[in-house]
Amino acid sequence: MRFHSILSPDAEAELASASRWYQRIDPNLSFRFELETVATLRRIEKFPYQFPVIDGTTRRAVLKRFPYSIFFDLNDDESSVIAVIHQRRSDTIWMDRRRK
């Protein structure tokens, strides 16, 4: 079964913000960040159960070359992306969103 990823508006904003930050450093770095994010989202869509459950039903996928994690829940045939957060930021960000 293949899942379809749905990004929350907050997750989309976080991706855009991180991409802009890398863009200011080096355009190629921003491009690589975006490619890796897309690759990780595809891994989530193909093999969502490979990622560990970290709280309740929320799972975390860690990007390989960048210090970001993607937090998502599985619903029927969708993976709902709650947040894309730098690993040094507080976990309470995605926890608060999940409660909404």
**What whole-number distance in Å separates Cα of residue 85 and Cα of residue 21?**
13
Distance (Å) of CA 6 to CA 13, 28, 29, 45: 13, 26, 25, 10
Phi, psi of 21 (to 5 degrees): -60, -45
The CATH number corresponding to 4-99 among 3.30.2310.20, 3.40.50.1820, 3.90.1170.50, 3.40.50.800 equals: 3.30.2310.20
Under 8 Å between Cβ of 80 and 57: no
d(CA 24, CA 15): 14
Per-residue pLDDT band for 100 (boundaries 50, 70, 90) equals: low
**Residue 72 class from Cβ within 10 Å (0-12 exposed, 13-18 middle, 19+ buried)?**
buried
Cut 0.75: pTM above it: yes
pLDDT > 90? residue 77: no
Kindly report, residue by residue over 3-53, the tens digit of the pLDDT: 888 999 999 999 999 999 999 999 999 999 999 999 999 999 999 999 999
Q: What is the pLDDT of residue 1?
A: 61
